[in-house]
Amino acid sequence: MKFRMALFFLVLTFHAYIGILSATLLPGSSNIARYLFAISDMVIVGLALTVFWRNRRYYGSIALWLFLLAALLTFIYNSHRMGITATLNGLREPAFFISSLIIIYDFFQSRVREMFVAHFTRFLLIFALLQIPVTVYQVISFGATDYVGGTFGWGGSGILTQLLFLIAFYFIVRKGSLPDGTAFDIKKVFLYSILLIPCALNETKISFIFLPLFFSLIALTSGKVYRAIPVIILSVLLGLFWEYFYSTNVQETRTVFDLQFIEKYMYSGSTNSEDMPRLARIPIMFHLMRGDVGAILLGFGYGLFGGANVLGMTQLGKSLSFLGGSKVLLFTVWIQGGLLAVLVIMFAMFGFMRQTQWSYYTLRRFKWFFFFSLLLMWVYNDAILFRTFAIMAAYFMVFIFVGGDAEEVQAAAGEQDESDEELPDDS
């Protein structure tokens, strides 16, 4: 078990830092990195298969069965234009995410659960803290641009922002919940909000959606209302800082909320290059599928946008290369695997919402923030197919699914109830 855990963390460490290493410390190593990516994918899928049977009733294992069956149907339908090599290459990203779910769930069901959670939590903290000096250096060197991706390097700013909000919320839940799980300790909220500094330094507009939602959910309490006041004050102060930095270094924030700007940014801007607006690809996809029921249900085949560097792109992939660049998850999944793949990936991503364990109040706040983040991804980016995000997201899904630290919270709540019973009756 410990050997499997070591392999798992080796893969996670590689993906978390290879972006900055290959871009700065080891320039020219991109080809080696691609082979290591393939090896790491095989390790994760292999680890999942070794524990698949004993976790066969877990929804992640069911999702893997459904995904492989759907992928087989997609391959059969598109075998005339998508070979087996290209298909296997295209299956790596979604298979990596679903396999991570199975592996992490298995660790949570094993005798090494506490050790695994402690190691993973420590990894998350180190990862999040390292982003601060790296992003500060990147802002000084390149300004608030797509280069401010932290250890992910160029183009990773959006994914980094999503991850840091999730990591900060996770730590606030685990370390900042009151013993009975009804509200948050404001000192811990302030402490772990420091992890969001890189989100204020890069130019990602999605922060203006996450920030108010983040603090709104933290401010909610099942206890006394006055506990929310310090959180509200902190959120206002951070919001003002966010607005000042963004307006000074990127653009006036009022343009971010302008409907015409949003429409141009997401849908109707230039469509003749990789800078095509994210949502503009979806109507083009449906136009290409028009009248082809098989393509609507099963897509055009996995590996459509892969193979450009090592395997070589397929003829269909070359003809659709203008659809490359920043893609939303709905487009990436549907055009490759069709509506069937969309339903399966949704099941894998949102199955954790159907918890089987008792859940405390602060954990439920995190669950709804995470749910919204995943839902937004379908029309914002395809971060769940990014290996580091996939592993960390899978961890959060399993953590929520099994009830987090529910046993400790229940024990604390029970002790609180007993102490309340001992108090004299005011009447």
* 288 CB-near residues (< 8 Å, 6+ apart): 295, 300, 320
Rounded (5°) CA angle 330-262-247: 125
Domain carrying residue 7: 2-412
**Residue 393 belongs to a domain:** yes
Tell me if 179 sits within 8 A of 409, measured CB to CB. yes
How many folded domains does the chain comprise? 1
Phi and psi at 232, nearest 5°, equal -65, -45
**Residue 422 belongs to a domain:** no
What is the chain's pLDDT, residue by residue, as a tens digit (427 residues)?
789 999 999 999 999 998 887 766 666 666 788 888 999 999 999 999 999 999 999 999 999 999 999 999 999 999 888 889 889 989 999 999 999 999 999 999 999 999 999 999 999 999 999 999 999 988 888 877 777 888 998 778 889 999 999 999 999 999 988 887 888 888 898 899 999 988 888 777 788 889 889 988 888 765 556 666 777 777 777 777 766 666 666 555 555 555 555 555 555 555 444 567 778 889 999 999 988 999 999 999 998 887 555 565 677 777 787 787 778 999 999 999 999 999 999 999 999 998 767 678 889 999 999 999 999 999 999 999 999 999 999 999 999 999 887 666 655 555 554 544 454 444 3
Taking CA atoms, 348 is separated from 96, 98, 112, 297, 352, in Å, by 12, 7, 24, 18, 8
Alpha-carbon span 204 to 397, nearest angstrom? 24
End-to-end CA distance of the chain: 58
**Residue 123 belongs to a domain:** yes
**Residue 426 belongs to a domain:** no
Task: Give Rg (Cα) of the chain.
Answer: 22
**Residue 425 belongs to a domain:** no
Partnered with residue 177 across adjacent β-strands are 184
Q: pTM of this prediction?
A: 0.89
**Residue 423 belongs to a domain:** no
Alpha-carbon span 265 to 276, nearest angstrom? 9
**Residue 424 belongs to a domain:** no
**Residue 62 belongs to a domain:** yes
Tokens of 320: 């659709």
